[in-house]
Chain A
Amino acid sequence: MSYLFAAFLVIWIGLFAYILHWQRQVRDLRAEVAALRQVANQERPQP
């Protein structure tokens, strides 16, 4: 039974680690997009 739980634990930890990894990437990229948009708007000549 311990092998069964070990296998399931590994699968779950693997999947959650992967999901957390790209969710962090999404958060960082969204922040980068927002910052770049702000810079782009500031540099645009005012009418």
Chain B
Amino acid sequence: MGITTLDRPATQNSEFRTQNSELNAILAWATAVLMALSLYAVFIYAPIERTQGAPQKIFYFHVPLAWDAYLAFFCTLVGSIAYLRTAKPKWDMLAYSAAEIGVVFTTLVLISGSIWGKTIWGTWWTWDARLTSTLVMWFIYVAYLMLRSSIGRTVRAARYAAVLGIVGFIDVPIVHMSVTWWRTLHPQPTIANPAGPTLPGSMLATFFLCLVTFTILFAWLLRERMAVEQLRHEVDALTASVLESEA
């Protein structure tokens, strides 16, 4: 059985889309302006770190990308739990959209981290606890996306994916705590440190600007991606109604 029931009546869809696109435009503009400010702060305002030099500036995008990935997978967890409880398609749309964005961000975290690692450790990859657990997290959510695409847009696929979206989240706190639980090459937390941030003021300000920018970017991407899912459901509903009238 396909998920063909739209979450809201078809007559409200155009009104919903107008409100949706207005907010999305605001988020897109906010992202663009903040991204320009972030680039200025990273390359001009923030000082060059003494031991690592210029490559340390990868940190300003690498960590917010990882934060966005955590946020995305948390949205997948929330969407999955809510879908299993209510069976409302909007929660499944949230879980699916967030998982896809999370995979994109995790891919960028792994690549940017690998480039940073090459400059600091002299190697592109090492089987360190943080790197390995992040790779496992990437595989879990790639499996989630593969499950969705292999079974199709069915209630069964949504249920199986919801279970994977809940179980898969177990790896997220493991990734975060890996640098504390195991001896790793990856640096200890410099911001979420129990003793407080260890960065100087200008670096901290640049970091928080980038964090806000990437959080707004995530919100925009999530809303846009959910609009794609909404359109897919609309196509399914219209196809079903056309086939019904032909029969």
Assembled-state Cα–Cα distance A18/B217 (Å): 13
B245 pairs with A26, CB closer than 8 A = no
Interface flags for B204-243 (1: CB within 8 Å of A; 0: not) read: 0000000000000100010011011001101100110110
A14 pairs with B107, CB closer than 8 A = yes
The interface residues of chain B lying within 8 Å CB-to-CB of A19 are 221
Assembled-state Cα–Cα distance A19/B239 (Å): 27
Docked complex: B24-81 residues within 8 A CB-CB of A? 54-55, 57-58, 61-62, 65
A32 pairs with B235, CB closer than 8 A = yes
A26 pairs with B231, CB closer than 8 A = yes
A11 pairs with B108, CB closer than 8 A = yes
Assembled-state Cα–Cα distance A24/B96 (Å): 18
B61 pairs with A8, CB closer than 8 A = yes
Size class of B's contact patch?
20 to 34
A40 pairs with B238, CB closer than 8 A = yes
The interface residues of chain B lying within 8 Å CB-to-CB of A30 are 231
**Prevailing SS type, chain A contact patch:** helix
Assembled-state Cα–Cα distance A19/B232 (Å): 17
Task: Report which of A3, A15, A29, A36 forms a contact with B115, defined as CB distance below 8 A.
Answer: A3
A22 to chain B: closest residue by CB: B228
Assembled-state Cα–Cα distance A39/B107 (Å): 41
Task: Report which of A4, A29, A43 forms a contact with B245, defined as CB distance below 8 A.
Answer: A43
The interface residues of chain A lying within 8 Å CB-to-CB of B156 are none
Task: Report which of A1, A29, A32, A44 forms a contact with B228, defined as CB distance below 8 A.
Answer: A29
Distance of B215 from chain A, by nearest CB (Å)? 14
Q: Which residues of A contact B (CB under 8 A)?
A: 1, 3-4, 6-8, 10-11, 14-15, 18-19, 22, 25-26, 29-30, 32-33, 36-37, 39-40, 43-44
| Additional A-B contact list (5), CB under 8 Å, known A4-B57, A10-B111 | A3-B55, A3-B119, A10-B108, A22-B225, A29-B232
Query: What are some 5 contacts across the A-B interface (CB < 8 A)?
Result: A3-B55, A11-B61, A26-B224, A29-B232, A39-B242
